[in-house]
Structure 1
């Protein structure tokens, strides 16, 4: 009589796992680069402590040649207040993040912050971490 080997060997197919891991890696790399698309690159002032927030933010950027951008949309200083108020709408709880280069004059920052004081808006100045 011929004896057959009827033992069962459990196997896990791992050939597709490497493909899945590759696609997950690509997905997270692409998503991480798109995490903050409303930022214009500039050198920010330095601070010791940075406060991080996950709220819905409006980005107000000022370049070294005094060009103003609200969420990457160019705006003249004369229309800055009306554009900012229309962007905020009725939600006065939204925070405006002011990104201004460290080498601009203080008066340029004060001119922008006066718009927030006048309209009772929340303004935050973006800084880079000094570490």
Structure 2
């Protein structure tokens, strides 16, 4: 008969419980991460729209006969320091599958950026508010 001494290590039940705890933590963290990422993308998009609108005003001053320009063209001509694309969580404007910003100027000189600014979700929409 062998003399069984205490063996050091984890039992199968302890390992399963540890895995379950980690799985629960991950299940809670992923939706929070997605919400934070979406919020950051919306903020970046709104800042992009403001920047592109300002830069387009300079562009249309330099090229008064033009009435449409894209963010890629503004970058290639030096009006933007870096290439700007629409974040993935922002719906693209109509016919805009390349995820670039399009700027138009109407007859009255009003500049419109597409896709336009988006509003941040209210707390009640995310289910965390009242």
Same fold (TM over 0.5): no
TM-score when normalising by structure 2: 0.34
Greater share of residues in strand: 1
| Higher relative contact order structure (alpha carbons within 8 Å, sequence separation ≥ 6) | 1
TM-score when normalising by structure 1: 0.33
